[in-house]
A = this chain, B = another copy of it.
């Protein structure tokens, strides 16, 4: 039975039940591991329930003990990543805003380093993120997170320059996110040295993007 995720099930992406016995929490881990490995192997295509079960050494039925549907498995993998973004950006808004060009440059750099760290720490998850973006059912959920992240980038910009108009802040926010994301995905597929070079590239681009809008002397 093909489900209509968009309707009822969207509400039900939470784990179906908590594992009560020790063996079963290991099972949950095995399911998540299998889903991750398969997604990495297959590139964009999301793995089938059967494939996940087999790779985890389980039967399909067991999947549904802990997850209400296939999407929930992938989403579980992505959630930590998706939610660490808002946290990190929010933390960069708490500090006192910069007052001159040099301090400002420093603030960009800090935000930049912090976000980069998220990508490096979650490098193995990237194929899942890409798969989610390419999946018609999961895309909307990621979009919700993206909205949040954009809003926070915009808030950060207005924190750095309180005079910045909302409209401009949100436009620059989107671009910061998308440019950062696109470039870092490229970077993570290359070797570490290239990743670092791309990081420098992104930093220059961010600065070029944002500087004209921060009328600092």
Contact = CB atoms under 8 A, between A and B. Distances in A.
A198 B186 contact: no
Interface string A157-171: 000000000000001
Contacts of A134: 44, 133-136, 139
A139 to B, nearest CB: 6
A118 interface: no
Interface size class of A (residues with CB under 8 A): 20 to 34
A9 interface: no
A51 to B, nearest CB: 14
A204 B207 CA distance: 10
Interface string A171-203: 110110011011100100010001001100100
A55 interface: no
A95 interface: no
Nearest to A44: B136
A1 interface: no
A178 B174 contact: no
A43 B201 CA distance: 32
B204 A179 contact: no
A150 to B, nearest CB: 10
